[in-house]
Amino acid sequence: MSGHWIADRMHKIDASGIRKVFDLAAKMQNPINLSIGQPHFDTPENVKGALYKAIEAGKNVYSQTQGIAPLLAELQKHITADLGHADRQVFATSGTSGGLLLALLVLVNPGDEVILFDPSFVMYKHLINLCGGVPVPVSTYPTFALPIDKVAAAITPKTKAIIVNSPANPTGYVATSTELKQLATLAKDRNVALLSDEIYRVFCYDHPFETPARWNEQTIVIDGFSKSHSMTGLRLGFAHGPADVIQQMIKLQQFTFVCAPQPVQWAGVEAWHTDISSRVADYKAKRDYCVKELSKDYEISGAQGAFYIFPKAPWGTGSEFVAEAIKNELLIIPGNVFSPIDTHFRISFATDDRTLERGLEVLKRIARK
């Protein structure tokens, strides 16, 4: 048997609970799918056109590890104008996930602690474990606001980094300027690296997006095109931060991902100039509709951004409630996929209006059981 070959680190990673829901979906006749964390729009036509053109032009070989010059120039110009940090450098990553992995591998030694907010994106704790680090969850229940005092109390001599994600998956919570300023200042004062995952940056519905990098020049930002331009399968992200950290991330990318896919980087140049405001407006309308329809039967916090709502199950555990939804052909994700606490569930409203209507009808019906 080959089982004894498996490295110990793999036993700290469980198969994603989301994948289990997808496997279940494959067996269903006509599922109402509100589980998928990606836009339901296709990639914009002009962005696809730029991708085809790059492929036709033979741009199918490696690019420089840090990315193609035209993309880096566009990103750097924007970041410098926005933040004005003399030492801030950007490079292209193979998806946002690639950027997160590189950042954590560069920062985290075995035994180092990394603070994350609970509930959080499933990948964070697994990547921290992979690096030999120790995930330290700080609860944000019940409102999902950032509890700065709890973060300060969780910092120990072993704390190396804090990961913040606003707008957040799974809660849709958008941190306030005050929270981000306090978090950024705390990280700076305590000499802890701050990692800001900004992949849902464009999806802020109630007030403008803010980055903690505004108040902490050492913040490492992970961003990308996957959610904003519906390019999840094309794997194009970018990271920016202090040059000494970014240089180490680029060095590691050279020996892991090599580079982001070159044709997709050319598509990224086009995407950067593509207006997606109509898509954002569509998702804001969907968010408003979900909150209006569900508020009578569900306790809802967060939901100011991204394309998720994270309601509290009106009866039973989150898992029991999701099992009932699945019996009714509705696919949603139990909250215990994102958290040790099993009280909530995640719905994604990144779908067409008819599917969303059908899903919300089921949710209203089973809430009143």
What does the pLDDT look like over 176-214, one tens digit per residue? 999 999 999 999 999 999 999 999 999 999 999 999 999
**Helices vs strands, H then E, count in the chain:** 12, 12
Work out the number of other CB atoms within 10 angstroms of the CB of residue 148: 17
The DSSP letter of residue 116 is E
Residue 173, C-beta contacts closer than 8 angstroms, at least 6 positions apart: 140, 144, 145, 166, 167, 301, 302, 303, 304, 305
What's the average model confidence in pLDDT over 252-271? 98
Residue 136 has pLDDT above 90, yes or no: yes
Average pLDDT taken over every residue of the chain: 95
- For residue 137, the model assigns a pLDDT of 98
Q: Are 292 and 284 in contact (CB under 8 A)?
A: no
- DSSP symbols for 148-193: HHHHHHH--TTEEEEEEESS-TTT-----HHHHHHHHHHHHHTT-E
| CA atoms of 137 and 139, how far apart (whole Å) | 6
The 159-165 sheet, strands edge to edge:
88-93, 237-242, 220-224, 193-197, 159-165, 113-118, 134-139
pLDDT band at 16 (very low <50, low <70, confident <90, very high): low
Within its chain, how far is the Cα of 132 from the centroid?
22
Extended strands (E) in 278-362: 308-309, 330-331, 333-334, 345-348
pLDDT in tens, 211-241: 999 999 999 999 999 999 999 999 999 999 9
Instruction: Write down the pLDDT at residue 302.
Output: 95
pTM: 0.95
**For 48-63, how does the pLDDT look when each residue is reduced to its tens digit (9 = 90+)?**
999 999 999 999 999 9
Q: Which amino acid appears at position 154 of this protein?
A: A
Is pLDDT of 260 > 90? yes
Q: Would you place residue 111 in the very low, low, confident or very high pLDDT band (cuts 50, 70, 90)?
A: very high
Residue 369 in this model has a pLDDT that exceeds 90: no
Report the candidate in 120, 20, 115, 23 with the shortest Cα–Cα distance to residue 344.
120
Instruction: Give the other-Cβ count within 10 Å of 14's Cβ.
Output: 11
Residue 19 has pLDDT above 80, yes or no: no
Report CA torsion sign: 283, 288, 294, 295: positive
Residue 36 is predicted with a pLDDT of: 87
| C-alpha to C-alpha distance for 201 and 193, rounded to whole angstroms | 20
How would you list the strands of the sheet with 308-309, edge to edge?
A: 308-309, 345-348, 333-334
Give the number of other CB atoms < 10 A from CB of residue 146.
Answer: 22
Q: What is the pLDDT of residue 11?
A: 83
Q: In the chain, helix, strand, coil percent, each to 5? A: 45, 15, 40
- Statement: residue 5 has pLDDT above 70: yes
231-243 CB burial, b ≥16 within 10 A, e <16: bbebbbbbbbbbe
Residue 322's pLDDT is what? 93
Give the per-residue pLDDT at 21: 66
Q: Which sequence spans correspond to the domains of the chain?
A: 3-43+276-367, 61-272
pLDDT value of position 1: 64
Give the model's pLDDT for residue 13: 81
Q: What are phi and psi of 242, to 5 degrees?
A: -60, 140
Confidence of residue 174 (pLDDT cuts 50, 70, 90): very high
Indicate the SS3 state at residue 121.
coil
Closest CA to 325 of 358, 291, 287: 358
| Amino acid 27: pLDDT | 74
Phi then psi dihedrals of residue 254, to 5 deg:
-55, -35
pLDDT for 17 equals 61
Which among 358, 290, 302, 336 is positioned nearest to 21, based on CA atoms? Answer: 336
Dihedral angle at the C-alpha atoms of 34, 39, 40, 41, nearest 10 degrees? 170
Residue 8 has pLDDT above 90, yes or no: no
Residue 315: alpha-carbon gap to chain centroid: 28
Radius of gyration of the chain (CA): 20
Q: Domain 61-272 falls in which CATH fold?
A: Aspartate Aminotransferase; domain 2 (3.40.640)
**Is 89 exposed, middle or buried, given 0-12, 13-18 or 19+ CB atoms closer than 10 A?**
buried
Residue 261, pLDDT > 80, answer yes
Domain pair 3-43+276-367 / 61-272, same fold: no
Q: Which residues have CB under 8 Å from 109's CB, separation 6+?
A: 132, 133, 160
Per-residue model confidence (pLDDT) at position 30: 83
What is the CATH code for 3-43+276-367? 3.90.1150.10
